[in-house]
Amino acid sequence: MAAPTPHSLCEVILALDVPTRADAEAFLDRIGPDLHWVKLGLQLFVREGPTLVDAIAARGHRLFLDLKLHDIPNTVASAIRSLKGRPVDLLTIHAAGGSEMLRQAVAAARETSPTLQLLAVTVLTSLDAPALAETGVPADPAAQVERLAALALAAGVPGLVCSPQELPALRARFGPGPLLVTPGIRPAGADQGDQKRAMTPAQASAAGANLIVVGRPLLAACDPRAALAALQAEMK
């Protein structure tokens, strides 16, 4: 997969966090063909299995498999190799797994598919400074994001998942190269839910995001197709 060009027009990824395959397929019918990217997370992947990856890709969508792999290096590498033959474009791993896990994951991705790109998760967007401190990390979220981002990029991981609020610092430090994917996106005036470090789509796009992840503002919309069009227009 050719990565989106940094600082080019940002694209929307739908976080397809629904209970069942039937719900997923019904919603994809409703949102229409202008949706290019779909994120499949743990909830649906665990329930429905990897054949759902094939079904979503067969509809013409590009697939972001958000499993946040975090285990000993050999286990993570083996899990990545198990995706061979699946049409997955992006896959998440935790940067906190350490440099050896990251390096083995990169090697496994290259063996598995020439188009598979890994994204390193830095600090979950549900964590603010007090929550991060509870885990034993005294640094504020922005500093921890930069630390883990540097670790992942040095190990060869081509992209990062981060809060949109860290986008300017990551672009300033690491330049246009990394693929930056940002959850925590809420349209202006929307409820932030459990996202503690959120931005609007326009703000995230201007800050240098390549892809923004949007869930509830689309899933809960009365007209998902119109809501998607509004998000795309806002980013322009």
H or E element in which residue 161 lies? strand 159-161
User: In the prediction, which pLDDT does 163 show?
Assistant: 81
Angstrom distance (rounded) from CA 187 to CA 201: 6
Looking up tokens 């959850």 gives: 183
Q: Domains of the chain, with CATH numbers?
A: 11-235 (3.20.20.70)
User: In the prediction, which pLDDT does 127 show?
Assistant: 85
**Active site positions, annotated:** 68
Looking up tokens 């992942």 gives: 152
CB neighbour list of residue 86: distance below 8 Å, 6 or more residues apart: 50, 53, 54
List, as one string, the DSSP characters of 140-158: -HHHHHHHHHHHHHHTT--
User: In the prediction, which pLDDT does 188 show?
Assistant: 62
Where does residue 143 rank: exposed (0-12), middle (13-18), buried (19+ CB within 10 A)? Answer: middle
Q: Is 101 within 8 Å of 76 (Cβ atoms)?
A: yes
User: In the prediction, which pLDDT does 213 show?
Assistant: 93
Confirm whether pTM is higher than 0.75: yes
Name the packing angle between helices 224-235 and 21-31 (round to 10°).
Answer: 60
Three-state SS at 202: helix
User: In the prediction, which pLDDT does 193 show?
Assistant: 52
Furthest C-alpha separation in the chain: 46
Q: Which residues of the chain have pLDDT under 70?
A: 1-9, 188-198
User: In the prediction, which pLDDT does 124 show?
Assistant: 86
